[in-house]
Amino acid sequence: MTARPLPQTLSGPVEDYLKVIYDLERVGQPAFTNHIADRLAISPASVSGMVRRLADLGLITHEPYRGVRLTGDGRRAALRTLRRHRILECYLTEVLGYAWDGVHVEAERLEHAASEELIERMAAALGDPVHDPHGAPIPTRDGRVEEPMLRTLAEAGRDEQVRVRRVLDEDAPRLRYLAELGIRPGALVRVLDKAPFDGPITLWVEGASRAIGVALAAQVFVEGAGGATGAGAGVGGTE
Protein backbone atom coordinates (compact mmCIF):
# COMPACT_ATOMS: atom_id res chain seq x y z
CA MET A 1 0.00 0.00 0.00
CA THR A 2 2.71 2.41 0.96
CA ALA A 3 4.43 3.08 -2.32
CA ARG A 4 7.29 5.25 -1.13
CA PRO A 5 8.65 4.73 2.36
CA LEU A 6 7.76 7.37 4.93
CA PRO A 7 10.57 9.86 5.47
CA GLN A 8 11.52 10.17 9.14
CA THR A 9 10.50 13.83 9.21
CA LEU A 10 7.53 15.24 7.36
CA SER A 11 7.77 18.65 5.75
CA GLY A 12 5.89 21.61 7.15
CA PRO A 13 3.32 21.71 4.34
CA VAL A 14 2.70 17.96 4.65
CA GLU A 15 2.03 18.35 8.36
CA ASP A 16 -0.32 21.21 7.63
CA TYR A 17 -2.30 19.16 5.13
CA LEU A 18 -2.62 16.31 7.58
CA LYS A 19 -3.85 18.58 10.36
CA VAL A 20 -6.49 20.06 8.12
CA ILE A 21 -7.61 16.71 6.78
CA TYR A 22 -7.84 15.37 10.32
CA ASP A 23 -10.01 18.26 11.30
CA LEU A 24 -12.28 18.09 8.26
CA GLU A 25 -12.69 14.38 8.66
CA ARG A 26 -13.86 14.69 12.25
CA VAL A 27 -17.37 15.58 11.20
CA GLY A 28 -17.66 12.10 9.69
CA GLN A 29 -17.32 12.91 6.01
CA PRO A 30 -14.09 12.49 4.11
CA ALA A 31 -12.16 15.69 3.40
CA PHE A 32 -12.80 17.24 0.00
CA THR A 33 -10.25 18.92 -2.19
CA ASN A 34 -11.91 22.30 -2.13
CA HIS A 35 -12.35 22.31 1.62
CA ILE A 36 -8.71 21.51 2.12
CA ALA A 37 -7.81 24.25 -0.33
CA ASP A 38 -10.01 26.73 1.52
CA ARG A 39 -8.51 25.92 4.87
CA LEU A 40 -4.96 26.20 3.65
CA ALA A 41 -5.69 29.18 1.43
CA ILE A 42 -4.14 27.54 -1.61
CA SER A 43 -5.63 26.55 -4.96
CA PRO A 44 -7.61 23.32 -5.36
CA ALA A 45 -5.23 22.33 -8.13
CA SER A 46 -2.30 22.44 -5.72
CA VAL A 47 -4.24 20.32 -3.28
CA SER A 48 -4.84 17.73 -6.00
CA GLY A 49 -1.12 17.50 -6.52
CA MET A 50 -0.30 17.19 -2.85
CA VAL A 51 -3.06 14.66 -2.35
CA ARG A 52 -1.31 12.36 -4.78
CA ARG A 53 1.92 12.72 -2.85
CA LEU A 54 0.26 12.06 0.48
CA ALA A 55 -1.42 8.98 -0.95
CA ASP A 56 1.93 7.81 -2.34
CA LEU A 57 3.37 8.17 1.14
CA GLY A 58 0.57 6.08 2.55
CA LEU A 59 -0.70 8.90 4.75
CA ILE A 60 -4.12 9.14 3.15
CA THR A 61 -6.40 7.20 0.86
CA HIS A 62 -7.95 9.03 -2.02
CA GLU A 63 -11.08 8.26 -3.99
CA PRO A 64 -11.07 10.68 -6.92
CA TYR A 65 -13.95 13.13 -6.71
CA ARG A 66 -14.91 11.51 -3.39
CA GLY A 67 -12.46 13.04 -0.98
CA VAL A 68 -9.61 11.74 1.11
CA ARG A 69 -9.25 9.94 4.43
CA LEU A 70 -6.30 9.60 6.74
CA THR A 71 -4.69 6.19 7.11
CA GLY A 72 -3.40 5.01 10.46
CA ASP A 73 -0.01 6.54 9.73
CA GLY A 74 -1.63 9.76 8.59
CA ARG A 75 -3.73 9.99 11.69
CA ARG A 76 -0.76 9.39 13.93
CA ALA A 77 1.23 12.08 12.14
CA ALA A 78 -1.68 14.53 12.36
CA LEU A 79 -2.09 13.94 16.08
CA ARG A 80 1.62 14.32 16.68
CA THR A 81 1.51 17.73 15.02
CA LEU A 82 -1.63 18.68 16.91
CA ARG A 83 0.04 17.74 20.18
CA ARG A 84 3.01 19.89 19.32
CA HIS A 85 0.85 22.80 18.39
CA ARG A 86 -1.29 22.71 21.48
CA ILE A 87 1.53 22.20 23.93
CA LEU A 88 3.33 25.10 22.31
CA GLU A 89 0.21 27.23 22.74
CA CYS A 90 0.02 26.29 26.40
CA TYR A 91 3.66 27.02 26.99
CA LEU A 92 3.64 30.33 25.18
CA THR A 93 0.65 31.61 27.13
CA GLU A 94 1.39 30.15 30.53
CA VAL A 95 5.14 30.54 30.71
CA LEU A 96 6.03 33.28 28.28
CA GLY A 97 2.99 35.47 28.76
CA TYR A 98 1.60 35.39 25.25
CA ALA A 99 -1.87 36.79 24.72
CA TRP A 100 -4.71 34.36 24.12
CA ASP A 101 -5.17 35.59 20.61
CA GLY A 102 -1.53 35.67 19.61
CA VAL A 103 -0.32 32.17 20.30
CA HIS A 104 -1.83 30.46 17.32
CA VAL A 105 0.37 32.04 14.67
CA GLU A 106 3.56 31.52 16.63
CA ALA A 107 2.74 27.90 17.42
CA GLU A 108 1.87 27.32 13.80
CA ARG A 109 5.44 28.04 12.79
CA LEU A 110 7.21 26.41 15.70
CA GLU A 111 5.30 23.15 15.49
CA HIS A 112 7.23 22.16 12.39
CA ALA A 113 10.64 22.91 13.85
CA ALA A 114 10.32 21.76 17.45
CA SER A 115 11.82 18.40 18.34
CA GLU A 116 10.07 15.74 20.32
CA GLU A 117 12.41 16.52 23.18
CA LEU A 118 11.47 20.19 23.28
CA ILE A 119 7.78 19.44 23.25
CA GLU A 120 8.07 16.90 26.03
CA ARG A 121 10.19 19.23 28.13
CA MET A 122 7.58 21.93 27.72
CA ALA A 123 4.80 19.50 28.54
CA ALA A 124 6.66 18.39 31.65
CA ALA A 125 7.25 21.99 32.72
CA LEU A 126 3.50 22.51 32.51
CA GLY A 127 2.61 19.29 34.29
CA ASP A 128 1.33 17.55 31.18
CA PRO A 129 -1.63 19.75 30.33
CA VAL A 130 -4.68 18.14 28.77
CA HIS A 131 -6.22 21.22 27.14
CA ASP A 132 -4.72 24.14 25.28
CA PRO A 133 -5.64 27.76 26.07
CA HIS A 134 -8.68 27.57 23.79
CA GLY A 135 -9.95 24.41 25.40
CA ALA A 136 -8.83 22.01 22.69
CA PRO A 137 -7.79 18.60 24.00
CA ILE A 138 -4.10 17.73 23.72
CA PRO A 139 -3.38 14.32 22.21
CA THR A 140 -1.18 12.11 24.36
CA ARG A 141 2.29 11.00 23.33
CA ASP A 142 0.85 7.75 22.06
CA GLY A 143 -1.77 9.47 19.95
CA ARG A 144 -4.95 9.33 22.00
CA VAL A 145 -7.41 12.20 22.07
CA GLU A 146 -10.84 12.47 23.43
CA GLU A 147 -12.79 15.00 21.45
CA PRO A 148 -16.14 15.13 23.23
CA MET A 149 -19.20 16.02 21.20
CA LEU A 150 -20.16 19.42 22.46
CA ARG A 151 -23.01 21.72 21.62
CA THR A 152 -22.28 25.24 20.55
CA LEU A 153 -23.45 28.26 22.43
CA ALA A 154 -25.73 29.00 19.49
CA GLU A 155 -27.59 25.78 20.23
CA ALA A 156 -28.12 26.42 23.92
CA GLY A 157 -31.70 27.15 24.90
CA ARG A 158 -33.00 30.30 26.52
CA ASP A 159 -32.53 30.47 30.27
CA GLU A 160 -30.07 27.65 30.09
CA GLN A 161 -26.86 27.88 32.09
CA VAL A 162 -23.80 26.44 30.37
CA ARG A 163 -20.09 26.26 30.89
CA VAL A 164 -17.74 27.25 28.06
CA ARG A 165 -15.47 24.36 27.20
CA ARG A 166 -13.75 25.42 24.04
CA VAL A 167 -13.49 28.37 21.72
CA LEU A 168 -12.69 27.94 18.06
CA ASP A 169 -11.52 30.56 15.69
CA GLU A 170 -7.95 31.37 14.91
CA ASP A 171 -8.88 34.92 14.13
CA ALA A 172 -7.07 37.09 16.65
CA PRO A 173 -9.50 40.04 16.75
CA ARG A 174 -12.49 37.77 17.30
CA LEU A 175 -10.68 35.85 20.02
CA ARG A 176 -9.76 39.12 21.66
CA TYR A 177 -13.38 40.20 21.51
CA LEU A 178 -14.58 36.98 23.11
CA ALA A 179 -11.98 37.36 25.85
CA GLU A 180 -13.21 40.90 26.56
CA LEU A 181 -16.72 39.52 26.95
CA GLY A 182 -15.43 36.96 29.44
CA ILE A 183 -16.18 34.07 27.13
CA ARG A 184 -13.30 31.67 27.62
CA PRO A 185 -12.95 28.03 28.62
CA GLY A 186 -14.30 27.52 32.11
CA ALA A 187 -16.55 30.57 32.06
CA LEU A 188 -20.15 30.18 33.21
CA VAL A 189 -22.73 31.66 30.89
CA ARG A 190 -26.51 31.97 31.06
CA VAL A 191 -28.60 32.47 27.94
CA LEU A 192 -30.94 35.34 28.70
CA ASP A 193 -32.52 35.66 25.31
CA LYS A 194 -32.34 34.45 21.74
CA ALA A 195 -33.74 36.87 19.23
CA PRO A 196 -35.74 35.23 16.42
CA PHE A 197 -34.54 34.91 12.81
CA ASP A 198 -31.00 34.03 13.92
CA GLY A 199 -30.84 37.30 15.80
CA PRO A 200 -28.36 38.09 18.52
CA ILE A 201 -28.07 35.97 21.62
CA THR A 202 -28.12 37.78 24.91
CA LEU A 203 -25.97 36.32 27.64
CA TRP A 204 -25.24 36.83 31.30
CA VAL A 205 -21.48 36.56 31.75
CA GLU A 206 -19.46 37.61 34.77
CA GLY A 207 -22.25 39.68 36.18
CA ALA A 208 -22.97 41.59 33.01
CA SER A 209 -25.33 41.25 30.07
CA ARG A 210 -23.79 40.79 26.64
CA ALA A 211 -25.18 40.17 23.17
CA ILE A 212 -23.33 38.27 20.45
CA GLY A 213 -24.26 37.12 16.95
CA VAL A 214 -25.13 33.57 16.05
CA ALA A 215 -22.02 33.11 13.87
CA LEU A 216 -19.77 33.95 16.77
CA ALA A 217 -21.81 31.87 19.21
CA ALA A 218 -21.38 28.89 16.89
CA GLN A 219 -17.65 29.03 17.51
CA VAL A 220 -18.11 28.59 21.24
CA PHE A 221 -18.55 25.05 22.52
CA VAL A 222 -20.36 24.54 25.78
CA GLU A 223 -21.54 21.91 28.17
CA GLY A 224 -24.61 21.93 30.36
CA ALA A 225 -23.62 23.53 33.64
CA GLY A 226 -25.87 22.66 36.58
CA GLY A 227 -26.79 19.14 35.47
CA ALA A 228 -25.72 17.01 32.52
CA THR A 229 -27.33 18.35 29.38
CA GLY A 230 -27.58 15.96 26.44
CA ALA A 231 -24.99 15.78 23.68
CA GLY A 232 -25.32 17.60 20.39
CA ALA A 233 -23.71 16.89 17.07
CA GLY A 234 -21.25 19.75 17.26
CA VAL A 235 -17.57 19.14 17.16
CA GLY A 236 -14.55 21.26 17.74
CA GLY A 237 -12.08 22.56 15.18
CA THR A 238 -8.36 22.46 15.00
CA GLU A 239 -6.23 25.04 16.61
Total residues binding DNA (CB under 7 A) = 27
Residues that bind a second copy (CB under 8 A): 92, 95-98, 102, 106, 109-110, 112-115, 117-118, 121-122, 125
Alpha-carbon distance of 66 to 235, in angstroms, equals: 22
Identity (one letter) of the amino acid at 198? D
Q: Which stretch binds DNA (CB under 7 A): 29-37, 113-121, 174-182, 195-203?
A: 29-37
Residue placing its CB nearer to a second copy in the complex, 126 or 225: 126
Task: Identify what 67 binds: a second copy, DNA, none; CB under 5 to 8 Å per kind.
Answer: DNA
Q: Which is nearer to DNA, 58 or 182 (CB)?
A: 58
DSSP per-residue letters across the chain: --SSPPPSS--HHHHHHHHHHHHHHTTSSPBPHHHHHHHHTS-HHHHHHHHHHHHHTTSEEEETTTEEEE-HHHHHHHHHHHHHHHHHHHHHHHTT---TTTHHHHHHHHTTT--HHHHHHHHHHTT--SB-TTSPBPPPTTS-------EEGGGPPTT-EEEEEEE----HHHHHHHHHHT-STT-EEEEEEE-TTT--EEEEETTEEEEE-HHHHTTEEEEESSS-----S------
Per-residue contact string for residues 66-95; x = within reach of DNA by CB under 7 A: -x----------------------------
33 binds DNA, rule: CB under 7 A? yes
Q: Residue 62 Cβ, how far from DNA at the closest point, in Å?
A: 6
Interface pick for DNA out of 18, 20, 24, 50 (rule CB under 7 A): 50
47 vs 114, which CB is nearer to a second copy?
Answer: 114
Candidates 5, 28, 64, 173: give the one binding DNA (CB under 7 A): 64
Q: Considering CB distances under 5 to 8 angstroms, the limit depending on partner class, which of a second copy, DNA, none binds residue 35? A: DNA
Binding site for DNA (CB under 7 A): 11-14, 17, 32-35, 40-53, 62, 64-65, 67
